[in-house]
Chain A
Amino acid sequence: MNNTATALPPYLAMLGVDIRDFSGVPGRHQAEVTDAIPVVMRSAFERAGLEQNWLDKHFYSPSGDGCAIGLPTGILPFLVNPFLFALQDELDYRDQVRADPVPLRMRVSVHVGPVTNTGGTSDSEGSGAARIATHRLLDAQPVKDLLTRSGPTTRVAAIISARAFEDAVLTGYAGAEADRYVRVPVEVKTFRDAAYLRVPAPSGGLLSEGFQPRDDHAGTAADETLAPGMDAAAVTNHAREVHGQVEQSRDHNTTYTFNGENNNVNTGAGNQFNGETRYYDRRGQ
């Protein structure tokens, strides 16, 4: 290996997009869906009030059933909020006007990092480990599960890299509450990192069981550690009007089971709040 240092390429905010079940789209409609992707993206940027950022993008790289987009880093918080919501709304509208042969559902990854950026149009634009991470995040099982476990009204499931989350969300720039995100471990090929899930319009199993399926619970609980700079108070989850079971696998390893109309807490560990009565879990102290 050459021991001489080389200048780091500029940092870009990156968006990865993948259409769910593209291979399930009838063959004669696949080209139509592929052609629709940049149209959807442009309109979602417009809808979010980010038209100029779309025009200023550094690269747009189609992948047949998705795309990768490189943008100036300043946009990173806006990709989280409001872009993800605008994309969900745009896909709602496209369904309402029957724009696509099948209603489109997408996985989206958000990342930031150094990638080659010469301002040109060569195929190597936007190359680098950060670009690969953007693609790996899209293939992570936790984000795939979100679309499997939700109904057709959930059109967007997003996974935000730990780096993007720390820079854009924890800092407050995204104007989004950190506790709306669910931290998950990601393992795709040689890529291993933590990432954060966000669904603009949850439905189905995501409402009744949470963002992580119950089966995963035991496996991930041991893996949970707080991100640097993140305090325990920032990861409080709220569940309202819940029917069924809610589980939280974080620092408190808290489990609640709700039964019946009044959502009585029947079993639980960790600090519990039930109306005016509070039970603080001090067993470990």
Chain B
Amino acid sequence: MAVVSGRVKVLGTEPEGRTLLLALRGAGDLLGEMAARSVSSRTATVETIDRCVFGVIPVDRFNAFLDDSRAQQVFADYVIAKLSQTVDYKLELVHFPIGRKIARLLLELRSLADDTVADPARVPFSQQAVADALGLSRSTVALHIGALRDTGALRTEPRLEVADLAALRAAAGV
């Protein structure tokens, strides 16, 4: 399945049953391509963030396409790169200062919003969802969101919305 437009979140489940953000994907990404390759069990759950358009490609046709365009190696590289990224989102960022973690998540959400997303500047996560994704408390997130508003990276309350992309990048260390 190919994401044609819109954003999705890839979720896993912790042993205790809690949902875990693994990765964010957007237009141009493939979903379910690992399942098509093997008989392995389900590795993750995908939830849409926006109204999305997907292209569903039968495995045989996809393989034929890869063969015809001599893209098997490119596809293999893509799968390997994705596998290495499919770890707990918050572990990826574990060593960053808290403000950076939050800014990085918001920057990624903003960057993956394509032209079809109705309100690309709006952060599609609640503060609680940001806190859950990053393993932080809601009050800590509120504190740092306040700081991002002070620098002008985010709009003033009540909407959670990116106001200045350059300021958000600077806060993210990008």
Please indicate the chain A residues that have their CB under 8 angstroms from the CB of B80 in the complex: 153, 201, 203, 207
B111 touches A98 (CB 8 A): yes
Check A97 against B107 for contact (C-beta < 8 Å): yes
CA distance A51 to B173 in the complex (A): 12
- A39 in contact (CB, < 8 A): yes
Q: Mark B74-91, 1 if CB is under 8 A from A, else 0.
A: 101110110011000000
Q: Could you list 7 further interchain pairs (A-B, Cβ under 8 angstroms) beyond the known A47-B93, A201-B81, A203-B81?
A: A47-B96, A49-B95, A99-B174, A151-B73, A203-B76, A204-B77, A208-B73
Mind listing 23 A-B residue pairs with CB under 8 Å? A42-B173, A43-B174, A46-B97, A47-B93, A47-B96, A48-B95, A51-B97, A93-B108, A93-B174, A96-B108, A96-B111, A97-B110, A97-B172, A99-B169, A151-B73, A152-B77, A201-B80, A201-B81, A201-B84, A203-B76, A203-B81, A207-B76, A208-B73
Size bracket, chain A contacts: 20 to 34
Return the CB mask of A39-73 against B: 1 if under 8 Å, else 0. Answer: 10011001111010000000000000000000000
If over half of B's interface residues share one DSSP class (helix, strand or loop), that class is named, otherwise mixed; here it is: helix
Give the number of residues in B that approach A within 8 Å (Cβ atoms): 26
Tell me whether B92 is interfacial, beta carbon within 8 Å: yes
Q: Smallest CB–CB gap between B26 and chain A, Å? A: 9
Question: B residues within 8 A CB of A224?
Answer: none
Question: Which residues of chain B have a CB within 8 Å of any CB of chain A?
Answer: 73-74, 76-78, 80-81, 84-85, 92-97, 100, 104, 107-108, 110-112, 169, 172-174
Which residues of A come within 8 Å of B, CB atoms? 39, 42-43, 46-49, 51, 89, 92-94, 96-99, 151-154, 201, 203-204, 207-208
Cα A93 to Cα B174 with chains together (Å): 9
Q: Specify the chain B residue showing the minimal Cβ separation from A42.
A: B173
Question: Is the CB–CB distance between A51 and B174 below 8 Å?
Answer: no
Query: How many angstroms between the C-alpha atoms of A99 and B96 in the bound complex?
Result: 18
Tell me which of A93, A99, A204 contacts B73 (CB under 8 A).
A204
Which residues of chain A have C-beta atoms less than 8 A from B96's C-beta?
Answer: 46-47
Question: Least Cβ distance of B91 to chain A in Å?
Answer: 11
CB distance A151 to B111 under 8 Å? no
* List of B residues within 8 angstroms of A153 by Cβ: 77-78, 80-81
What residue of chain A has the Cβ atom nearest to residue B169's Cβ? A99
Give the CA-CA distance A51 to B100 in the complex, in Å: 13
A46 x B100 contact (CB < 8 A): yes
B24 nearest in chain A by CB position:
A96
How far is B84's CA from A94's CA once the two chains are assembled, in angstroms?
16
Enumerate chain A residues within 8 angstroms of B76, measured Cβ to Cβ.
Answer: 203, 207
Q: How far is the CA of A93 from the CA of B84 in the complex (A)?
A: 12
4 tightest Cβ-Cβ pairs between the two chains A and B: A49-B95, A203-B77, A153-B81, A97-B111
Q: Which of A49, A92, A151 is B77 in contact with, Cβ under 8 Å?
A: A151
- Distance in Å from the Cβ of A146 to the closest Cβ of chain B? 14
